[in-house]
Structure 1
């Protein structure tokens, strides 16, 4: 069998070589490197990539028309102009094949610049026994010029795969089916994601489920600033690229990123890609120093059964939390917006005094604490309102992020007042000290439980030389953000551990933040039902390393800040949404439950317990079941669930601003097909298997499970338990390494099925 496979591979390589030789005979010979998995071919005259073949699947990944696409692009800044360079700018090129799996290419003698010493060197090497290629670029002879951006690698001319799926680590994770069709329909020829920033992990992939996939990543363990991008050319071919941002450093004559680009093939789906990334990711410093993994997260955060996200004055925030805590009988904590004395998205960072006044605010915080309710208060980590008095008085402009032309990054978030916020620089010690002192005041003087640091998991390039950080690229942003969290914690006089939260998720912030707000669970509320779908990509990689919590899930129309213009206030704030959207709420909560996310309800009011009883009861049930299975849904590792056939249903979806609705922009009703039963599988530290299930159906449904225990590292014999809101019970045993089980899910039901090998301990929290 091995001999047959060997000759099949040889014939495939010979065929591809012959075909490409015919196709490119006018453009030079093709120089190949290969291992048993991959075959890469480069033109000997200019270095264009002509072949990228998955040998195991007999699958060429590039179109044969990929003849004039550059592997790299450089933006070279001179005192007078920006000079773009690519491989066709060079008058000289040579290729050096070091061995069968490794080659180097050198471009020199560039017509656009008067510098004979300037060269671009690219090396490509294949791992010995894996479908992995590693790409490196090196620039030398830069002189006193500045390199603003190096696009490398850029893989053009990707052939269309049948039933294509594109996945991106866009915060939690996003999946786009048929990306070419979507991009053409929406007149988009490029998508880009910043890392560190919305790109929470260095990962994107294009694949046909169960067949060949192409995987793009970096082995950067130091959080250097970069972008990942996907492009579509006029011929309909996709491209992958990484934009690298060097530090502006006139003292250095060379540049090379401190990491490799990784381009691999794989067979599977988004879970396969995440598992492959996880092998590398959990060995990195941010995972080793994760606050959750090292027991540094405050215990009250880990014990939280339910979050309330309410806004405004005390009376609309803490009493509802107290009522819900009594109803649930488990820890309930608060994410609190609009507690501050300034208008939201306008007056930052003039948070003090609180809008309820100092005395009332402090008294109510203390009262809530006595009832076991903690508060995370909103304080944007990087924004300063440029219409505030403090902006001028404290010369905030000097410490804001500057672009290459010296301008700030200013944006109007507040559509009602039209006043803008400006992005501050985390590389500026002034801004770090300013923010840390404000957070310290909230913690030490007002006794809040922690700070929700909005926009904390973002990163920017700054070119202001007065800030004391490298200009442009580098990894100073994450370092600065980490320094702020250290300052806040070191200044805390709280007897309990304080919690620091970020918006979104990010691997870079695992050592610095205690929990991460996961709003993509409710993506349909702000982005509709077409296009990008949310997937738990980040949780698949990092769930045991990060507490994720929250959603936009709400049964009411949004509130309106009392400090915004009165004439813009809509008439139906905090009114019940139409009952037709109740299933959307159930769906969001079911997702959160099975994906291992701490549940949250936004805009909670006491009357919902009666007016939306079924929905609130469902939320209570999920929170209670989750609290019984924390070894899986808080500390467990995501694994592929057994294949389960579940029905889908057309649900009505409300799309409306989740912060503040307007009379001119009422609820948009959409419709989409969604699963009615949600499942996910989790492995615990003691090697047990938990399968979480949540149904939003209004009738009983039989769920059939058929799988081999060895798939999950279980012994051939063991016991099966059913975990519900009141505890767990044994429901059977399994034998001979086979699970053959049917469970009847009741209407609006939730549970965790636990599978334990013989001689293993029973369920207990970590």
Structure 2
């Protein structure tokens, strides 16, 4: 460590002024951070020594009085709010001790709020680190309570000709040329901020292609130019304990400058706030360090920095996917509670469908047969009440739920019903009888925090409270143990934002603290341990994603692409995948085949190349059709994911891959793809039009098993040829081969070098760079066979099904008559009629079903079930008239009545 200012105490009377003092610096071979005593010890330099780039600029002439204080304190009383900075200190001093700088501001007060506060900041720059670590303490007394501490604050961050910023907003956001976007904002943690870091990087010239404008607006981009030489600024909170905070940035400052800061929210010991007649003691110590540093590269380089910290946290301690056991861990063990079973890892398609079994079963069946891959469904509106009415009480269900769940499992579909896991309907009997008000979030005024849905008022529940945890265990046990579900979708646990609670009887600090994130973790830890007693394979997921839940959720429903508002110049980007993809499972968007094919391909294609299990979403689900482009895209992309892409797209580590226009200059990235330019449009939620400009062939690269997988998707209706460059030196290759795994296996020779590849309209390609082609090919998944027929009627007899000679069909609901019929067998579901004799099964549905009948009970007479699943058994029988009556059967047993 080289210290360019002597290790002495330097005191400066800020109010009276003094002789000019030189900036105080911490410096090493990577980074210099400087603080200006003449400016209240504001940060005056963050210098990337490796790229020779200074990030902090002097004040512009039109902002000479700009307050760049390293901290800002908010103090509140019942009658007023005061903001205090270094300018309010009587004096300030610093001390250098090796790699650590300590700055002290004392005598801080306001005429409106008398007191005597001291702020102490420590900044440490380890010898071989490109990051400095900031901490802060506030002590003394003031006439109010400490409400917020903004620290560290950094002003004067420079612009670049071509600059971008990454945000951890759920899946992630990419913001391009953010000073031109001119949008100041903040991001709350633990949600919607899924992680605790930002990055900003830039170069002094526009990279090809430049930021595209379509129809007078900035379009989204699919291009990934090579920014491996960019100068980057890294900003992170290293908080293992999940304290509530906000990451804030402002690119609207004079002189084309930006600022960054973190808003820390102290916890208070009591509530309500008293009347202050004299100063009271204040003591706050920021419970984590903020890391500010530099790097070379883009967001993926910054993600590698954050990964070093993230991989040491408790939410990653079960290890990456490759370390998850395939065998069920010991009963009652912590490993079992945190285990993700193989069936969840092997999901090839998610069906986000709705309503009663008689409606949803044929929808599941149609897509299962169309795709031939393992299917899971998060199941909405399976109960009598209207959507969200009576949350979290989702029973009683629609008719034939037990039979529908059993049929779903036999179809090869894993049903996981919806429960809103953060609010309680205040007009339910359970809210009243169980006195749920005691466990609700309480506002500063003593009220519940309401969420109005339709005509109902729901109360946000405090995540710290055992009563709410117990209610979730009760609901999930009913659905999984009593109704046979494969798991439960616990909505909003990662998709809301932390709610400040002011109930002093809850056992947590009021106002700030870490009770929201810790409470959600405790809820899931207790829930998983409880449910895994009765079903070791039961799984759970929630909407959106948060790092703090990675080891207690089996997966995360990422709806960012179509649900999130993004202004021009900002777009959804797989930032979280750059850190946590090896540790968790992501899936989904609101893609549906009712979209035009160009729109469907862009939304579904992004899911694919970003390492997300594919998902289709619809309330009324159209059957996929041969020759329909969107249906064909669905099948092509889904099968490419499951058969060939799965080893990398579930559990792989994302690699840098440059994707550029064919006429753009080459970069130096190890994997580079050149493609035709393509522009399309798609609609997000509330019909917000988005315009996307990028490659006609999307692509991503991943590492796993020591191999590299490259996944491509032609998102256009035309044949496209791409140019792929593999730079062996950059990747450290030594004779590895390239093998194509989709759509057909093809040996392509040495991996290193340049090659062209042609993709048919809407076609995918999956390539593998490997030293063992046999092992790479052996990892391919096979499509499933489906020896079953699902029959559903509106009103009348259940249709018969046919099979070859010797076939036997069975149903888990009723006996099945298997009768010889010429060259085959006709199988008919049977039921007992009023005379007690077997007769062909009949069924009946209400005239109005689905969304039209929400909130009203449907017919549920036992002998009018309108569906039957007939499974072809792995047994054969050569039978004469009257045939074989199969009472029950599967691969392990057969109970039948045979002639003779």
Report the alpha carbon displacement of residue 312 of structure 1 after superposing the two structures with TM.
Answer: 2.1
Q: Report the counterpart of residue 223 of structure 1 in structure 2.
A: 242
Aligned pairs (5 A) from 1:10-21: none
Tell me the CA shift for residue 195 of structure 1: 1.2
1:220-369 → structure 2 map (5 Å cutoff): 220-235=239-254, 236-249=256-269, 254-289=283-318, 292=321, 293-295=323-325, 296-354=339-397, 356-357=398-399, 360-369=400-409
> Which residue number in structure 1 is paired with residue 586 of structure 2?
548
Cross-structure match for 1:428 = 465
- Structure 1 residues 133-142 or 252-261, which shifts more? 252-261
- What's 1:192 paired with? 186
Paired residue for 2:198, among 204, 224, 236?
A: 204
User: Residue 25 and residue 609 in structure 1: after superposition, are their counterparts in 2 closer, same or farther (change >3 A)?
Assistant: farther
- Contact 1:649 1:673 (8 Å CA) reproduced: yes
When Rg is computed on C-alpha atoms for both structures, the one with the higher figure is 2
SS in 1 for 2:604: helix
2:170 aligns with 171
1:402 match: secondary structure: coil
Please give the per-residue CA displacement for 1:419-478, whole angstroms capped at 9, x wherever unaligned: 343311111111111122112211122111111111111433322112122323333323
Contact 1:310–1:316 (8 Å) recurs in 2: no
- Alpha-carbon distance between aligned partners in 2 of 1:373 and 1:83, rounded to the nearest angstrom: 58
- In the TM superposition, what is the alpha-carbon distance from 1:25 to its structure 2 partner? 10
Partner of 1:456: 493
Report the Cα offset of residue 388 of structure 1. 4.3
Do the aligned residues in 2 keep the contact of 1:321 with 1:333 (CA within 8 Å)? no
Give the Cα separation in 2 of the matches to 1:729 and 1:203.
Answer: 42
Among 423, 426, 431, the residue aligned to 1:383: 423
SS in 2 for 1:502: strand
367-376 vs 701-710, which deviates more? Answer: 701-710
Secondary structure at the counterpart of residue 200 of structure 1: coil
Which residue number corresponds to residue 500 of structure 1?
540
Superposition pairs of residues 567-582 of structure 1, within 5 angstroms: 581-582=596-597
Does the residue aligned with 2:195 lie in a helix, a strand or coil? Answer: strand
SS of structure 2 residue aligned to 1:213 = strand
- Could you say if the C-alpha distance between residues 30 and 75 of structure 1 is closer, same or farther in structure 2, counting changes exceeding 3 Å? same
Number of equivalent positions: 693
TM-superposed CA distance for 1:760, in Å, is 8.5
Q: Identify if the C-alpha distance between structure 1 residues 384 and 674 changes in structure 2 by more than 3 Å, giving closer, same or farther.
A: farther
What residue is the counterpart of 2:31 in the other structure? Answer: 38
Q: Name the residue aligned to 1:717.
A: 735
C-alpha change, 1:324 and 1:679, in structure 2 (3 Å) is same
Which of 742, 748, 760 is 1:731 aligned to?
748
Matched-pair contact (CA < 8 Å) for 1:342–1:350: no
- Please state if 1:640 is matched with 2:660: no
Confirm or deny that 1:445 pairs with 2:479: no
Out of 581, 593, 613, the position equivalent to 2:608 is: 593
CA distance in 2 between counterparts of 1:589 and 1:619 reads 8
- Deviation of 1:94 after TM superposition, in Å, equals 1.1
The counterpart of 1:483, out of the listed 515, 518, 522, is 522
CA contact (8 A) 1:631 1:764 kept: no
| Distance in 2 (alpha carbons) for counterparts of 1:196 and 1:432 | 19
Kept after mapping to 2: 8 A contact 1:515/1:547: yes
1:76 CA displacement: 2.8
Deviations 1:30-51 (A, max 9, x none): 2222222323322224222222
Q: For the residues of structure 2 that align with 1:28 and 1:433, how far apart are their CA atoms? A: 61
Structure 1 residue 371 and structure 2 residue 411: aligned?
yes
In the alignment, the residues of structure 2 paired with residue 25 and residue 636 of structure 1 have an alpha-carbon distance, to the nearest angstrom, of 58
Counterpart of 2:624?
Answer: 609
Judge conservation of contact 2:139–2:281 (CA < 8 Å) in 1.
no
Q: 1:731 to 1:625 in 2, by over 3 A?
A: same
2:127 matched residue in structure 1: 128
Partner-residue secondary structure (3-state), 1:369: helix
The change in CA–CA distance for 1:365 and 1:54 in structure 2 (over 3 A counts) is: same
Structure 2 spans left out of the alignment, 5+ residues: 5-16, 203-226, 271-279, 326-338, 658-670, 781-900
How far 1:291 sits from its partner (Å)? Answer: 8.2
For residue 199 of structure 1, report the CA deviation from its aligned partner: 0.7
Report the alpha carbon displacement of residue 231 of structure 1 after superposing the two structures with TM. Answer: 1.9
Deviates more, 1:671-680 or 1:86-95: 671-680
Distance, in Å, in 2 between the alignment partners of 1:276 and 1:61 is 19
Q: Tell me how far apart the structure 1 counterparts of residues 536 and 315 of structure 2 sit (CA, whole Å).
A: 25
> How many Å separate the matches in 2 of 1:611 and 1:329?
15
Contact 2:500 / 2:512 at 8 angstroms: preserved in 1? yes
CA contact (8 A) 1:721 1:730 kept: yes
Distance 1:672 1:761 in 2: 38
Secondary structure of 1:342's match?
Answer: coil
- Which one has a larger percent helix, Structure 1 or Structure 2? 1
SS in 2 for 1:527: coil
Cα shift at 1:268: 1.5
Cα-to-partner distance string for 1:244-282 (whole Å, 9 max, x where unaligned): 222224799632223210111122112221122222222
| Distance in structure 1 (CA, Å) of the matches to 2:77 and 2:566 | 44
Aligned to 1:692: 711
Post-superposition Cα deviations, 1:49-91, rounded to whole Å, max 9, x if no partner, equal: 2222233333222221176211111223446644432211211
2:702 aligns with 682
For residue 494 of structure 1, report the CA deviation from its aligned partner: 4.6
- Indicate how the Cα distance of structure 1 residues 529 and 216 shifts in structure 2: closer, same or farther if over 3 A, else same: closer
Q: Residues 371 and 759 from structure 1, CA distance in 2 versus in 1: closer, same or farther, beyond 3 angstroms?
A: closer
User: Do residues 509 (structure 1) and 549 (structure 2) align?
Assistant: yes
Assess, with a 3 A threshold, how the Cα gap between structure 1 residues 702 and 389 changes in structure 2: closer, same or farther.
same
Measured in 2, the distance between the counterparts of 1:441 and 1:143 equals: 53
Q: Indicate the SS of the match to 2:41.
A: coil
Please give the alpha-carbon distance, in whole angstroms, between the structure 1 residues aligned to 2:320 and 2:707: 24
Where do 5+ consecutive residues of structure 1 fail to align?
1-8, 12-23, 557-576, 658-666
- TM-score of the two chains, using structure 1 as the length reference: 0.84
C-alpha distance in structure 1 between counterparts of 2:507 and 2:728, whole Å: 57
**Counterpart-to-counterpart distance in 1, 2:412 and 2:482:** 19
Q: Deviations over 1:120-178 (max 9, x none)?
A: 10011223233211111122335996432211111122222222212101111101112
The whole-number CA distance in structure 2 between the counterparts of 1:729 and 1:25 is 76
Determine helix, strand or coil for the equivalent of 1:693. strand
Q: 1:762 deviation in Å? A: 3.3
Most deviating of 422-431 and 291-300: 291-300
